[in-house]
Every structure is written in structure tokens, then in C-alpha cells.
């Protein structure tokens, strides 16, 4: 099939899905979960081919681990699908409903978006994950996975197709672009006649490509420099725990912090504590001049910050450190250095907290908590479609509701406008 | 100023506006409304120049009327600004708030989008209108009006600047791109570092341009073929009134209908009634074969439909007519022919109504009402920013709330993630 045909099939399937009951959608998901586990041997064999190819091309251990499936991981993916079954279906609920002066009952009813295009890299679980979330919300999906998981995805898509067929749902509900070549990605990004939303799940390069080429609305997300600001009124002993958690709990993810800002009145006391803890955790500090003076005496490795360091998402055991005069300079730093994901203030001051909440340009702002909480599961959304760092449609972790739109419904008795 | 500088100024102003109180924003709007009326003579003189230029270049009467201001219209624009003052400020309200199991209070708080870019054609009232709506919601705006209203817009922008200065708000709150040249539009559409949303207000060409060139989320809207489907169970006498209203109340606008679909069981009775009324109103009918047979005998002008007629937004006194076998064929027709704005069913059948509501791909779906109600004022939104026909962020008439985003706020007691 070419893209035009895939678009048509997806659009037709979306109309079917929009009128499919929650029970029928859940049934298809349960079949999919069971079929996944039943096909484990085939999936693992295919995954083995992908892993061999990756090893041959010299892929590093951490990336290999991302690609790798095993029986426990397949079980976990199947269980994630079962979890989606247990979530409430947002489709059909009314956002609001009122009677206008002219007697018309006017409501907004939640409806599926229609067709969702998803472009992703590496991790094979995304294939099942996104297919399940879209199906649950009545959206058809067109998926394009990375080359690295080509064989694995072929098997996963086979399972999805079986589940759709067994549930009398059209194959257009979930389609996968198997053909190699950038032109398929570019084509998908311009399929605005059929596709309502594009979700890129990958690195900044992929997001930039989507932003530049898409004629379809794109959900941009997953990036941004993360900051913790330690105010002078913070409990410095407990602050160390939060900074440690925000930096080292899982350093490779987007809600880990990149930069620590410290109030000048707290720096002399706090930075030695910081150096001790960071030395213990193997974190290298990258400090501006004033902070460097205080950190040089400590046990942690430290180097002077250079141009661009405070604009770098480290995704590892590195932490920028800067002393600021207070919450205003902290906010100015955030605004200057691409804060858009998750940022925190540690403070006892009500006014500092409120200033920071209002002024931080971030999707998620924390007071006395780690930035690591920005996550669909942590926020109780039940599932996470993506983490948006743009401001339209959805911001921060996106759950099932963010895969829906609404329509206005006006009901009256042969009412005309005067 | 170049676009980069305008973007920086807008971003800085947006931070100020986000922390400006509702009272201060309202005060600036009141000053703007008064300043508009005070500057009426200058505005009208400038508008005279635009009208002269338009007449010289052979602009038609209806377009001249769109360009034309007079004292009453200036008063109306000022009153619209005063109306915006009276609306509630959505910024700062919480969408939801809950305490997670770990003790974190997690809320979503409404915040301004940031910087809104608006590209529009003709009507000079848009300049004030959009500037006021953005200011009210704490958004900075960058405006780009049409060449046709160049002189008028210069004067209107002068008024806006005065009002901002008098209210101690930075001039970056509302900026206007005066320079001619397409490259300014293209540049604005790619200013994603500073601009959060683009609203095009103009014809399909402008929307297409924005869709193709923008790297910023765009609100597409204002188009779509409008339909009324007359079911066999409809009250045919009253149905004529609704069809008449939907077609002729204001034929040039986007919520007027283009196509009438009639159930085959009602056609023999309904089409003669239709022909009589349409003849009276000077509407030409464009009918497919079966409908044509029944309409040829009537008094209304009628011609056979040709390829593309049912995909045409008439914006005038023309109406497509087609006989269908029932609600399913009506829905199939809507889906095939770009229904995305406003569509209605006239019926007494509960099941037909529900089928149509769920199945129509439109932003606004009506049961026994005219499509003419799709309008911010009619819907009680107080103001209309645009009418979206896309599904992300906002659909249908957009009010003040649709000029906002939200941020997640997590508050706790030095909470870390395990």
C-alpha cells in the first residue's frame, strides 16, 4: 500500500472505531495482550535478529538493552495493555452542557481525534503501547518504528493484526509503515488529508524534522533543560535529598535535572553538602565562577562552565551549578536556558514559591519536590502517550484524554437564527 | 526591528503580561477603547486613503464595505473592547487539583499561551479585536494585517501603543509587522523560538500557506462544506424554515450551508416546497440526477450538478441538492465531501439524531437547528478568536479559554521519587 491508501484505510477505520463500543475495544485489547504472550517465541526470535544486527553495527550496551526483549518484558508489555483495558474510556463523555437563552441545548462531547501518526525510535514496546492507547480512545494509528527494531516490529504488528481480525475490527485501525526510506516519513508528515495528529517519540532531531516538515499538528515534547533552585529559606539538609533524587535517580531521562541554581545566601552552606553527595554518586559538577570557588574545595569532580553548558541536557552524571541572587534571577536563568519540561524550587517562603510557580516557563513546576515526578503514571493518568513541552492541546504528561478532541452538539426544535 | 527582535520583545512582554493582574489588563483595555474613539478622525482619514487605493485598483463593493470604517463602526469596535473587559479572565483558574497517594498536591493551572501570531486579511477591526483578546488573556501578540488596510492599521496600532504606554505595559505586548513582503509572513511562521501559536484569519490560501510553512502550531479553521440532511421523519414545513435560514440568512459566511441532502422517502414532498422557497429567495439549485427530476418542475432555477459541485463552498445564493437513502448515506456524503465545520440533521427520530451526532465529522453538529449558530457570540463565549476546524487544542468557536494553556503544579514536603 502507498501512503494515500494507508491514509484512506485509516480514515475509514477511524469512522468505524468512533462508533465501536468500549466493550468491543477492550475485548480487542485483551485478545492483543493474550496473543502477545502466545507469540513470545516468534517475537523473541525476531528480536534476536535485530540484536545481532545492532551488535554487528557496533551499538553500545545501553542501546542494546533498550532494544532487547525477553519473556519478562513481553509479559510486562502485555500487562500494560491489560492496564489500558482497565482505564476509563474518555470517548463520549460531555465536557459541558447548557441551555442557551434561545432554548438550544449546547454540549461539548469528547470524540476520538481520528487518525494519529506516530514516529518513534528504538524501543519496541512503543509499537504495542501506542497501538493500544489509540485503539482504546477510538483512534486509528499509522506507526513508523525505527530500523533498529525492524524484525521485532514485524512480529508485533502481526500480533496486532491478529487481534484486530479476531475482534472484527478493520486492519486499517493500526497500520505500520515497514518500507525503509526517509520519504515515507516525509510523506506521512504531509498526509494532512487523513491524519489529525503526529506524535514523534525520539530525540530532538526527530522532533525538529517533524516541526519543519509536517503540515499536520505535531506534539513536540520530551526535552528541556531541567532545574532545581535552592532558595535561601530551604531546609538545606533535606534539599540535598531532592537534588540528589532529581539528578541521579535516573540520569538518562528527560525529567532529570541538568542545572542547580543556588541562592547566594545559601551557597556557602549548601555547596559543600552538594559536593560531598555528588562525589559519592559520581556526578561531575560544571560550575560558573562564583560556584566554582566554593566547589573547588569539595570532594566532587568539578570544572568551570563554558559557553553552552547551561543549555545542555546532560542525560548523564553531570550537573551545572550556578549561584543566583534570588528567585528573580533564577527565573531569568530558566527563561534564558530553555526550561520547558520540569523545574523545581526548594523553599520555605510562600512568596518565593508563588513567584516561581507563576514565573517558570515549564510544563511542570514543583515546590519542594523532585522533578522526577513528571510522568503519566506518577501523575495518575494510568498511561502516558507522550510528554508535551508545547503549549497547544496538551502540556506535560499526556494521558488518554489528550488523545481525544470534542465536538459541539446543538439540539433544538427547528430553531433558526434571527 | 527585525523578526528576531520582535520575537524577543514579544517573549519578554509575555512574561510581564503573565504576571499582570486582571485589573491592570482591564484598565489598559478601557484606555484602548477610549483612545480609539478619541482618535476617530485620524483613523477615518487613514481609512479614506485605504478606500481610495482599493477603489483605484478596482476592488468590488462588498470588499470595499469590509474595509470601510465610519464613526459608528469605530464606536462598535471600542464597545467590543469594553465587552472583553467585562468577560471573566481565564488565567489563574485551576482545571483540577488532587492529592496523590504520596502526598503531593497536583494541580493544573491555566496560564497564557505566551506569544500569539495572527495573520489576517482585509477587515481592520481584527487588529483591535485580536489585540484586545490576547491582552485580556495575558498573551503578547504579533500582528500582520492585509495590505488593503495598511493606513488604517497604522493608526489603530498607534492607538494600541498609546494605551499600552499609558498603562505601563511594554510595547512588546502588541506588535505589528508593517513592512510589505511575503518574507515577513514566512519568517513569522518559522519564529518557533518565540511564538507559541499562529492564527490565520483569511481564505483557504492563507490557511494552506500557514499549514505548509509554519514550524509553529497553527489553528486551521473557517472552512468546510456545510450540510443539512432532511430525514424522512422531519417536519417538512418547519424544515423549510431551517434550510432557508441556513442558506440565505447570511450566504457569504462559513456557517451557511452548501448542500442539502434529502431522504428519498421525503424528496417528492419536500423538493417542491424547497423549489418554491428558493425561487422566492433567488437561490439557484445544483442537483444530482434524481433530485433534478423532481426540481425541474419547480419555480427555482436549477442545473445539473457536475464533478466538484458538492465540494464547493458557494459563499453565495447557490445550493447543492442530493437525494440519499437515509442517514448512513448522508454521513457517507459528509465524510466524502469535507464536512468539518457545521452540519445539521432535521428529524423526529431519536436513533437518526444520535447516529448523525456521532457520525458527522463536523466541529458543530445540530439536531433540528440551523447551522448559522456556530459562532462565539451565539454560543455564549463572549468573544470569538477564530473558528477551528482542526481537532487539536480547540474545535469550533474559540473563546478566551482557548487562548490559554495550563501548567502542572506539584507541591509537597521535600518529596523524592523512590
Interfacial B residues in 342-371 facing A (CB < 8 Å) = 346, 353, 357-370
Q: Does A253 touch chain B (CB under 8 A)?
A: no
Q: Which residues of A touch B357 (CB under 8 A)?
A: 109, 409
pLDDT digits (tens, 9 = 90+) for A271-300: 999 999 999 999 999 999 999 999 999 999
Closest B-chain CA to A218: B217
Q: Is the pLDDT of residue A63 over 90?
A: no
Residue B79 exposure: Cα atoms within 13 Å on the Cβ side:
6
Interhelix angle B3-18/A350-359, rounded to 10 degrees, is 140
Q: Hey, is B337 helix, strand or coil?
A: coil
Contact A417/B378, CB-based, under 8 Å?
yes
The residue behind cell 500557506 is B209
B107: left (phi over 0), alpha (psi -120 to 50) or beta: beta
Find chain B residues with C-beta within 8 A of A97's C-beta: none
Confidence of residue B222 (pLDDT cuts 50, 70, 90): confident
**How many beta-carbon pairs below 8 A join chains A and B?**
203
Chain A neighbors of B106, CB-CB under 8 A: 379-380
B409 vs A357, A410, A413: nearest CB:
A357
Residues in B touching A368 (Cβ below 8 Å)? 411-415
Question: Residue A243 gets which letter from DSSP?
Answer: H
Cβ–Cβ contact B292 with A under 8 A: no
Q: What is the mean pLDDT of residues B117-146?
A: 93
Q: Is the pLDDT confidence value at B126 over 80?
A: yes
CA distances (Å), origin A105, targets A409, B241, B367: 8, 19, 10
Residue A389: closest CA among chain B residues belongs to which residue? B407
Closest-approach residue (CA) in chain B for A207: B215
Lowest mean pLDDT: which of A80-94, A322-336, B51-65? Answer: B51-65
Asked if B417 is an interface residue toward chain A (Cβ–Cβ < 8 A), one would say yes
Contacts with A, B 311-340, CB within 8 Å = 335
d(CA B393, CA A338): 23
Helices (H), B3-70: 3-18, 22-38, 40-56, 61-67
For residue A284 the three cell numbers come to 561531575
C-alpha cell at A89: 474510556
CA B163 to the chain's CA centroid: 26
Q: At what angle do helices A22-38 and A40-56 cross, to 10 degrees?
A: 70
pLDDT tens readout for residues B267-276: 999 999 999 9
The per-residue b/e assignment along A338-349, b for 16 or more CB within 10 angstroms, e otherwise, is bbbbbbbbbbee
Pair A129, A80: CB distance under 8 Å? yes
Asked whether the beta carbons of residue B242 and residue A104 sit closer than 8 angstroms, the reply is: no
Determine the pLDDT at residue A360: 96
In this structure, what are the phi and psi dihedrals at residue A308, rounded to the nearest 5 degrees?
Answer: 95, -15
Q: Which residues of A touch B410 (CB under 8 A)?
A: 364-367, 369, 373
Residues A411, B366: C-beta atoms closer than 8 Å: yes
Q: What is the DSSP string of B174-213?
A: EEE----SHHHHHHHHT-TTT--EEEEES-HHHHHHHHHH
Contact status, residue A216 vs residue A117, Cβ threshold 8 Å? yes
Beta carbons within 10 angstroms of residue A279's beta carbon: 16
CB A369 to CB B396 under 8 A? no
User: B414 to chain A nearest CA, in Å?
Assistant: 4
Q: Which of B343, B313, B118, B320 is nearest to B229 (CA)?
A: B343
Grid cell at residue B135: 491582552
Q: Is there a contact between A391 and B196 if contact means CB atoms under 8 Å apart?
A: yes
* pLDDT level of residue B329 (50, 70, 90 thresholds): very high
Distance between start and end Cα atoms, chain A: 50
Are A417 and B245 within 8 A, CB to CB? Answer: yes
> Which set of grid coordinates corresponds to residue B243?
434550510
pLDDT of residue A264: 98
pLDDT of residue B66: 87
A196-252 pLDDT tens trace: 999 999 888 899 999 999 999 999 887 889 999 999 999 999 999 999 999 999 998
ipTM of the complex: 0.95
Q: Are strands A342-346 and A364-369 parallel, antiparallel or unpaired?
A: parallel
Which chain A residues are within 8 Å of B389, Cβ to Cβ? none
B89, B91, B96, B102 alpha-carbon torsion, rounded to 10°: -150
Residue B122 pLDDT > 80, yes or no? no
Does B217 sit within 8 Å of A369, measured CB to CB? no
pLDDT class of A130 with cuts at 50, 70, 90: very high
Spatial CA neighbour of A301 closest among A269, A273, A278:
A278
Name the pLDDT band for A382 (thresholds 50, 70, 90). Answer: confident
Report the SS3 class of residue A220.
coil
| Least confidently predicted of A37-46, A167-176, A179-188, B136-145 | A179-188
Give pLDDT, residue A180.
87
User: Which residues of chain A does B407 touch, with a Cβ-Cβ cutoff of 8 Å?
Assistant: 360, 362-365, 395-396
The three cell numbers of residue B122 are 482585509
The C-alpha cell at A201 is 517519540
Pairing type for strands B342-346 and B227-230 reads parallel
Kindly report the nearest CA distance between residue A156 and chain B, in angstroms: 29
Residues ≥6 apart with Cβ < 8 Å to B413 = A368, B103
Q: Which of A154, A176, A149, A157 is nearest to A53 (CA)?
A: A149
Q: Out of A244, A393, A411, whose CB is closest to B392?
A: A393
Residue A414 to residue B380, Cβ atoms within 8 A: no
Length of chain A as a residue count: 418
Is B113 part of the contact surface with chain A (CB cutoff 8 Å)? yes
User: Angle A89-A91-A96 (CA atoms, 0-180°, nearest 5)?
Assistant: 120
d(CA B13, CA B5): 12
The 3-state secondary structure of B145-180, one letter per residue: CCHHHHHHHHHHHHHHHHHHHHCCCCHHHEEECCCC
The Cα–Cα gap between A146 and B271 comes to 57
Query: What percent of chain B stands above pLDDT 70?
Result: 100
Q: Which residues pair with B345 in a beta bridge?
A: B229, B367
Residue A251 cell numbers, joined = 540520569
Of residues B15, B335, B358, nearest to A19 (C-beta): B358
Q: Which of residues 119-178 of A touch B (CB under 8 A)?
A: none
pTM, two decimal places? 0.94
Residues of A in contact with B393 (CB under 8 A): 217, 392-393
Instruction: Characterize A99-128 residue by residue with b for buried, 16 or more Cβ atoms within 10 angstroms of its Cβ, and e for exposed.
Output: eeeeebebbbbbbbbbbbbbbbbbbbbbbb
How crowded is the C-beta side of A34, counted as CA atoms within 13 Å? 11
Q: Tell me which chain B residue has its CA closest to the CA of residue A392.
A: B393
Residues B368 and B264: their CA atoms lie apart, in Å, by 19
Whether residue B204 is predicted with pLDDT greater than 90 in this model: the reply is: no
Q: What is the largest CA-CA distance in chain B?
A: 81
Is residue B143 within 8 A of residue B128, CB to CB? The reply is no
Minimum distance, in Å, between the CA of residue B240 and any CA atom of chain A = 10
| Confidence grade of residue B383 (pLDDT, cut at 50, 70, 90) | confident
**Cα B118 to Cα A415, B132, B159, distances in angstroms:** 34, 13, 18
- DSSP letter (8 states) at residue B404: E
Nearest by CB to B410, which of A241, A244, A373?
A: A373
State the burial class of residue A52 (Cβ atoms within 10 Å of its Cβ: 0-12, 13-18, 19+): exposed
DSSP per-residue string spanning B282-309: TPEEEE-HHHHHHHTTSSS-EEE--TTG
Q: Is B390 on the interface with A (CB under 8 A)?
A: yes
The answer to whether residue A408 scores a pLDDT higher than 80 is yes
Enumerate the β-bridge partners of residue B109: B94, B407
Q: Is B223 on the interface with A (CB under 8 A)?
A: no
Say if residue A124's pLDDT is above 90.
no
| Three-state DSSP class for residue A284 | strand
State how far residue A43 is from chain B, nearest Cα, in angstroms: 32
Task: Give the pLDDT of residue A61.
Answer: 87
pLDDT at A284: 98
| Percentage of residues in chain A having pLDDT higher than 70 | 100
Burial class (CB in 10 A: 0-12, 13-18, 19+), A82: middle
- DSSP-assigned letters across all residues of B62-129: HHHHHH---HHHHHHHHHHHHHHHHSPP-TT-EEEEEE-TTS-EEEEEEEE-SEEEEEE-S-THHHHH
**Mean of per-residue pLDDT scores for chain B:** 96
Amino acid at each position: 500500500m502507498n501512503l494515500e491508501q494507508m491514509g484512506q484505510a485509516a480514515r475509514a477505520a477511524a469512522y468505524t472505531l468512533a462508533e465501536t463500543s468500549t466493550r468491543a475495544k477492550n475485548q480487542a485489547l485483551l485478545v492483543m495482550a493474550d496473543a502477545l504472550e502466545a507469540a513470545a517465541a516468534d517475537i523473541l526470535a525476531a528480536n534476536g535478529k535485530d540484536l545481532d544486527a545492532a551488535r554487528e553495527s557496533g551499538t553500545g550496551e545501553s542501546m542494546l538493552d533498550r532494544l532487547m526483549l525477553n519473556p519478562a518484558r513481553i509479559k510486562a508489555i502485555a500487562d500494560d495493555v491489560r492496564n489500558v483495558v482497565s482505564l476509563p474510556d474518555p470517548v463520549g463523555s460531555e465536557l459541558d452542557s447548557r441551555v442557551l437563552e434561545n432554548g438550544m441545548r449546547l454540549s461539548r462531547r469528547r470524540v476520538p481525534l481520528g487518525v494519529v501518526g506516530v514516529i518513534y525510535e528504538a524501543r519496541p514496546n512503543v509499537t504495542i503501547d501506542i497501538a493500544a492507547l489509540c485503539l482504546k480512545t477510538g483512534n486509528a494509528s499509522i506507526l513508523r518504528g525505527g530500523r533498529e527494531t525492524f524484525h521485532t516490529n514485524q512480529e508485533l504488528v502481526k500480533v496486532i493484526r491478529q487481534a484486530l481480525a479476531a475482534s472484527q475490527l478493520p486492519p486499517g485501525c493500526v497500520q505500520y509503515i515497514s518500507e525503509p526510506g526517509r520519504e515515507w516519513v516525509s510523506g506521512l508528515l504531509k498526509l494532512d488529508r487523513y491524519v489529525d495528529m503526529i506524535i514523534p517519540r525520539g530525540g530532538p532531531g526527530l522532533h525538529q524534522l517533524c516541526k519543519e516538515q509536517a503540515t499536520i499538528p505535531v506534539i513536540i515534547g520530551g526535552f528541556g533543560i531541567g532545574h532545581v533552585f535552592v532558595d535561601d529559606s530551604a531546609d538545606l539538609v533535606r534539599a540535598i535529598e531532592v537534588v540528589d533524587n532529581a539528578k541521579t535517580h535516573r540520569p538518562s531521562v528527560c525529567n532529570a535535572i541538568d542545572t542547580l541554581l543556588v541562592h547566594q545566601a545559601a551557597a556557602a552552606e549548601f555547596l559543600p553538602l552538594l559536593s560531598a553527595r555528588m562525589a559519592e554518586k559520581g556526578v561531575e559538577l560544571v560550575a560558573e565562577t562564583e560556584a566554582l570557588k566554593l566547589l573547588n574545595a569539595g570532594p566532587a569532580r568539578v570544572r568551570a562552565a563554558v559557553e553552552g553548558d547551561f543549555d545542555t541536557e546532560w542525560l548523564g552524571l553531570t550537573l551545572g551549578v550556578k549561584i543566583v541572587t534570588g528567585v528573580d534571577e533564577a527565573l531569568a536563568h530558566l527563561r534564558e536556558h530553555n526550561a520547558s519540561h520540569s523545574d523545581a524550587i526548594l523553599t520555605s517562603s510562600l512568596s518565593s514559591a508563588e513567584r516561581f510557580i507563576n514565573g517558570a516557563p515549564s510544563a511542570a513546576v514543583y515546590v519542594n519536590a523532585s522533578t522526577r515526578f513528571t510522568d503519566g503514571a506518577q501523575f495518575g493518568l494510568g498511561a502516558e502517550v507522550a510528554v508535551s513541552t508545547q503549549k497547544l492541546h496538551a502540556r506535560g504528561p499526556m494521558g488518554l484524554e489528550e488523545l481525544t478532541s470534542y465536538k459541539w452538539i446543538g439540539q433544538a426544535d427547528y430553531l433558526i437564527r434571527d
